[in-house]
Amino acid sequence: MLYLNIMSITKSNAITKNYRGKFGDQVVFRNRFGHSVMAIPPKRPKTGPTENQVAARRRFLLASRYAKNILQDPDMLAAYTAKLRDGLSPYILALTDWLNCEAITNTPKK
């Protein structure tokens, strides 16, 4: 599991506005929702992924493939574009639909 320790959030800092990536082993810069975020780099556990993590990654991979296929189909893309709200993209909406639909995934949500 990744833990994110946020050190700083800025809205309009000219220096860090478009920075992303790692600075040495001490700081990571990210851009989230129009804000620059400076955080401590995430640390991965030394053990491999658990069975639940492997299953979650598999579900996300399948959801991502579904969402990418939606973007390729003009009719489905138009349908998802019509449902957009709160700054979401058609891709994110399709991804969320797939992950929340048990009939498609054939796996119960946890």
pLDDT tens readout for residues 58-93? 999 999 999 999 999 999 999 999 988 887 899 999
Q: What mean pLDDT value characterizes the chain?
A: 79
pLDDT mean over 31-59: 84
- Is 35 in a helix, a strand, or coil? strand
Query: In this model, does residue 110 exceed pLDDT 60?
Result: no
80 vs 35, higher pLDDT: 80
pLDDT for the residue 76: 92
Q: At CB < 8 A and 24+ separation, what contacts does 16-23 make? A: none
pLDDT on residue 87: 78
Please tell me what DSSP assigns to residue 46. S
Give the domain ranges of the chain: 5-40, 51-105
- Supply the pLDDT for residue 1: 46
**Rounded Cα gap, residues 69 and 44, in angstroms:** 31
Q: 35 or 75: which carries more pLDDT confidence?
A: 75
Q: CB neighbours (10 Å) of residue 58?
A: 11
Residue 75: per-residue pLDDT: 93
Place of tokens 């969320």: 96
